[in-house]
Structure 1
Amino acid sequence: MKNYPEPEPLPRSFPQDPSPGGFVQDRPVPKSKKGFLWSLLSLLGFLLLKGKAVLAFLKFGKVALTAVSMITSIWVYALFWGWYFALGFVVLIFIHEMGHAAAMRIKGIRAGAPVFIPFFGAMIALKDQPQNAKTEAYIAFGGPLAGAIASGICFYFFQMTQNHLFLALAYTGFFMNLFNLIPMSPLDGGRIVTAISIKLWGIGLIAILLLFLKTHNVLLLLVLLMGGLRFWQVYKEKENLSSGYYQVSSSYRWKMSLAYFGLIAYLGYMSIDSLNLLNQIMVR
């Protein structure tokens, strides 16, 4: 496999902030009521005149949170897999989340900015909740679909350049999105099958359990516990299954089934194909 140059390592420690934490006055200085009133009026005037600037700052804060969490994730992943792969991996996760965001915008669902969590991926908090299983499935499907396209582009770049980094990213993206399609909440697949059949959650539980028994991955155990709790809550109140939320037309159910299982087939095939290519490269 080709070697890629690594950038300069980050320093192990950073200088501490030299600014003082505060000060203590020997004697309190009394303030007049007029001074307090003037300060209050000045603050109100500032908020009225600079309201747009304050709103812009709040919006910037959301963007900053996304940027900082992205950079943090890149740094953490780079400790294990190097800077180039870490950057590409986070970009793949970002594209996956943007697929969800695009679907939310189409359906008129308000949402916050994506926040990245190392080894958990990323999440977008919904400000509005889907009104039915059809909308929930549509939003959930947007992420894996965008992720599959991004992974396919990485695979295409590998074929054009024979750069092994693109192949590694392609395989990771294919497998990551395939895993996300397991029909178990809180994974995307669990939300998609609400428009197909809730009974598929049982298959998802078994799949996650088998993966956990094979890998002993703590994250899988967390998904298993969360999914199992959700499964129990839904079937404990069976009357909710016949409520308006889960009422989906037969035509939409068939369309979503074809899209869901078709995407699983594509991601499964490409995961195996890219993994075989990686194994061939490793034994050279």
Structure 2
Amino acid sequence: MTKLLFLLFSGVKLSKLLLSGGTMLLSVLLYATLYGWRYAVGFVAMIVIHELGHFFAARHRGLPAGLPMLIPFIGAWTSLEKMPHDAETEAFVGLGGPLLGAVAATGCYLMARSWNIDWLLAISYAGFFLNLFNLIPMLPFDGGRITAVLSPRIWFAGVPIMVGLFLYRPSPMLLLIALLAAPQLMKAWKYRADSEEAQTYYAVPARVKWEYAAYYLGLAAFLAMMAHDVHEMLGAARHLGGDA
């Protein structure tokens, strides 16, 4: 009986591993048809590393987490089998993704500059931009999970950012995100400092709130600076290539 249970458990774990790997492979194949295999591999790697940041952060806090799953052209997620028990834990898990993603993008950037490889530079830009985009202070973004440690009402700061992005570059994906965000914004609107939820889930010491605010702003500033600078480098590289 014990052996049977072990085999069943092993089979479940193997199926999850194969499913996760399959979504990664499918993503690489589809992105490769548009951008070439080198960029596709690097781009998917940036997404996976970001999700692994959430995975490791969750495991560090004792939360069972599933392997990353990807849906090409839609997004990726790391499922939690047990939800965080307080806002600080949720912020910690939320911060893990963009933090590890920023490290990966920086490593790719340094390699691109050292070896003078433009496609690596393009991958690093994708990494910087994707992680910056995920820091929008609104659920379902990671930024919403991080800033909720301050107050759920801070999610309204993400509204003008989303509106500006949509006006700049209209996208059905942004509309889908807006639909997902709407119930959370309603929750933030109803949030009260004297509610039971505020006294329990969101009861975080002021010192911890300031720490996460510093982490969030510092990481956002770094990613914004790097995304801007790398974008300029890529533009200059394309200009030189056109002149040649």
TM-score over 0.5 (shorter chain): yes
Query: Following the alignment from structure 1 to structure 2, what is the Cα–Cα distance between the partners of residues 224 and 55?
Result: 38
Greater Rg over alpha carbons, structure: 1
What letter is aligned with 2:27? S
2:226 maps to: 270
C-alpha RMSD of matched pairs (Å): 1.4
> Matched residue of 2:10: which SS?
helix
Would you say 1:107 and 2:61 are equivalent positions? yes
Which has the larger displacement, 230-239 or 47-56?
47-56
1:107 Cα shift?
0.6
Q: Choose the corresponding residue for 1:199, options 149, 153, 170.
A: 153
1:120 Cα shift?
2.3
Q: Choose the corresponding residue for 1:235, options 166, 174, 189.
A: 189
Q: How does 1:1-284 map to 2 (within 5 A)?
A: 49-236=3-190, 238=192, 239=195, 242-284=198-240
Which runs of 5 or more structure 2 residues have no equivalent in the other structure? Answer: none
How many residues are treated as equivalent by the alignment? 238
Identity %: 37
CA distances 1:78-132 after superposition (whole Å, capped 9, x unpaired): 1211111011111111110111011101111111221111122211111101111
1:203 Cα shift?
1.2
More helix by share: 2
Q: TM-score, normalised by structure 1?
A: 0.81
Q: TM-score, normalised by structure 2?
A: 0.93
Query: Following the alignment from structure 2 to structure 1, what is the Cα–Cα distance between the partners of residues 237 and 196?
Result: 52
1:213 Cα shift?
2.1
What letter is aligned with 1:280? A
Q: Which runs of 4+ in 1 moved over 3 A?
A: 47-51
Contact 1:196 1:253 in 2 (8 A): yes
More relative contact order, 1 or 2 (CA 8 Å, 6+ apart) = 2
